[in-house]
Amino acid sequence: MPPAKKRPRAYDVARTRAAVLAQFTHLRDAVRTLTPEQLALPGPGEWTVRDLAAHVTTVLERVSRGMEQPRPVGGPKPETSLLEWPFSTAAKAQDIAGEARATAADRTDLDALYEETLARFTALVPDGDQDRLVPTRAGTMRLGDFLVTRTVELVVHTDDLHRATGIDVPYDRQALAACTRLLADALADRAPGGSVEVRVPPFAVVQCIGGPKHTRGTPPNVVETDPLTWVRLATGRTRWASALDSAQVSASGERADLAPLLPLMG
């Protein structure tokens, strides 16, 4: 019998919304400081930094557009759960990249774009109504769950901006916590079991991978890393072997190899 999957973690929609706004504001403030030369630098993949900066606004705009649409039909059950979302992103990568480049070309005044996006989100997205269904690229999702996915996008792109430009952008603690926990839980959902304990202090501890289950004392198979390294591993920004070689990850035990399971997001 395969290992049973655990009940999904609960998130408070008001705290998540506040975290999304806080991280978006940190990014807006950083983008305001960028020079034309910095905006022209290469970003992640085939993007420039300007493409990346423009894409950040769509992270919130997706929620705002969803709230403007009629409530999806079909009852209260969403088409995509929170733990399914990370694995749905790879199929949408080309569409997202094209939209980012189009937005960057169309909206040359990034500061005005950020302010418009922030105003629309604040007006359209409540801090309650967690179960309200909204349309997303991955199918309908609960509003509370979709907001958690926004912390992943914003934290990942905060790191992308830093790595492309060298600018230090603050991380909202709640946004980083939600992002870390979702990606850790997604790993446990992809490979359910109890033979390996994955620790990402101070935010997450999960058990995964089938095999002998640890119940007491020090687990025989342990992986430990910091939140940003975990985010980079889960999204393919850093490879498992590279993180091990640079001591960004510690892995003990014969089963403590996450390489076959990573990245979680495309």
| Interatomic CA distance for residues 137 and 146, integer angstroms | 11
Residues paired with residue 142 on neighbouring β-strands, in sequence order: 133
Cα Rg of the chain, angstroms:
19
DSSP state of 250: E
More confident residue, 18 or 98: 18
| Interatomic CA distance for residues 153 and 175, integer angstroms | 10
pLDDT digit string (tens) for 150-201?
999 999 999 999 999 999 999 999 999 999 999 999 999 999 999 999 999 9
For 208, the enclosing helix (H) or strand (E) is: strand 204-208
Q: Are strands 204-208 and 196-200 parallel, antiparallel or unpaired?
A: antiparallel
Confidence band (pLDDT; 50, 70, 90) for 55? Answer: very high
3-class secondary structure, 15: helix
Q: For the purposes of burial, counting CB atoms within 10 Å of the CB of 63, is it exposed (0-12), middle (13-18) or buried (19 or more)?
A: buried
What does the block give as tokens for 137?
Answer: 């690229």
Task: Please give the domain boundaries of the chain with CATH numbers for all domains.
Answer: 13-175 (1.20.120.450), 191-261 (3.30.1050.40)
Confidence band (pLDDT; 50, 70, 90) for 207? Answer: very high
| Interatomic CA distance for residues 262 and 147, integer angstroms | 23
| Interatomic CA distance for residues 155 and 105, integer angstroms | 24
Q: Do 214 and 193 form a contact (C-beta atoms < 8 A)?
A: no
Which range has the worst mean pLDDT, 65-79, 120-134, 149-163? 65-79
| Interatomic CA distance for residues 173 and 19, integer angstroms | 8
| Interatomic CA distance for residues 4 and 110, integer angstroms | 47
Among all chains, which residue has been given the structure tokens 């999960």? 206
Confidence band (pLDDT; 50, 70, 90) for 74? Answer: low
Q: Specify the pLDDT at position 214.
A: 58
